[in-house]
Structure 1
Amino acid sequence: TGQTSHTPCVNVTAEGPVARFQSYLHGGTSSLVSTLPTVIVFPVYKTVFRQQIHNTPVHQAVGQLYKEGPVKLYRGVVPPLLMRTLNGTLLFGLQDSIHHQLSLSSQNVVSASALPALAGFGAGIVEAVVFTPFERVQNVLQNGQNDRQLPSLKSVLVKLKAQRMSSGFYRAFLPITVRNALGSSLYFGLKGPVCAVVAGQGLSPVASSFVSGTLTSMAISLALYPLSVLVANMQAQVGAEKKGVWLCWKDLWRSRGRSVALLYRGGSLVILRSCITWGITTAIYDLQKKSSD
């Protein structure tokens, strides 16, 4: 299904176990390369996080980070670096494997054009199971209010281990699963068609993939941004009251004055981060995939 190997937009299912293994390898490699932009834009991400938690304008969030100093600026950068590399390996590889199985078992049942999105949905669920603990640790580390009580990564891990799974490492698992499953489904379902449209404008294969990844991830980030805000607020504290998803959402909506604009505070910076990281990841992955076909 999807595009043939000579087109710039790669959306094919690899044949054979070796070829499918390459999808894991290509996904990991492309994400590893994009960790450099992740480090560069980490202060941007942390600024967004502070806006999500404290509902502050961007200049106040920047002021908080400036006062804390350069050492604490990169506190919490290790989990996203690990997540970027492992996430790409798992996400692209699993999507390709699931896509392959679906194409064999669902002939004439599911439209071929819908298979990438369906496979992405399944990969997103597995992604949530594996990476929710990483995100939990990252959000605890990034919350400046935890610096005194939990000064190191080890102290955070020990504290979370002492909690129940649902309130410790897997706090906010449900909204993360919804966000990741929908996001992965939309990404794999849209990036091929978007890339084909962009390529039709005369751009090079690499440029087409980059623009496709950028536009797709931008749209997804904005659509699912409220879920990311909810997750950040649910995961930032350790040992606080253990409200459920619905009550946490009501508290969040109330704290934002029932304003969509305030709920999306920091959303413009998410666009910047998505443009850099997912644009590069998509371009490198498609280039590697095309070269190996």
Structure 2
Amino acid sequence: MRFSFAEGMTHASYYAPLAQACEASGYTSMTIADSLIYPEVSDSKYPYTDTGDREFLLGKEFIETFILCAHLFAVTEKLRLTPFVLKLPIRPPVLVAKQASSLAFLSGNRLGLGVGLSPWPEDFAALGVPWERRGKRMDECMDILQGLTQPGEEPTFFSYKGEFFEIDSLQQCPAPTEKIPLLVGGHSDAALRRAVLKGDGWMHAGGDGEELERLLTRLDEIRKEEGDTRDDFEVHVISYDAYTVDGVKRLEDRGVTDCIVGFRVPYIKGPDNEPLEKKVQHLEQYAENIIHKVNG
């Protein structure tokens, strides 16, 4: 089992020491949140909290995702970084491919790229991208990402013609030397199917155990329907089971490959008042009590 540490909506200055502590403690990865704007006025609801409240985001420090990844790769040697998740269809896919392949190349293939749809129409409006048919736009963005980030010693030429994007034959150099895992976030049936048909794995955004079981069952059904027998398909989940050794084993039996763990509720209004030292203590204690016991 692999383990990812999630700490979002905290002070930007904390991320580098937290990444270093994760690496020293035996975590495989650290997740990186993605947020571009906070609109002053919005009717949008956040889909992963009970109330749909979004005010917890107000005033939070979000460094642009790829820039933060570059910063953290520079202060670590082995730790993987996993955007959780990059709002892909609001971005130009050729630019994202260049950013992702550059990060993968410079970091020694330590990028796992989580992608998803933004729940905020305001994100699309601010970037000048239509909200309508965003799922189809997402599919095309993934196609282009995969085409332009094909690993190899020599970059390959790639062209594309779709409903939203048309790209003449081109290459980007350098190419990553290994495939960048493309992990799809989201709980809808469309997101699960997209993870199977176009991605290399699925990322769960949280919820109760009953809902997680339903999602894992549906994911298994879709993989069977589509004849997907990949051994390296990644399944990243947030679950209370991840906080006991027996619970981790139950998740492993359900096909989970990566446990995403955090040690505080991030959906709070106002600043994060937990000291950096306490955060490091929590992640180190978890590593000692769970990671080292599970993985020996």
Whichever structure has more helix as a proportion of its residues is 1
Give the structure with the higher percent strand.
2
- Structure number with the bigger relative contact order (C-alpha 8 A, sep ≥ 6) is 1
Larger radius of gyration: 1
TM-score, L = length of structure 2:
0.25
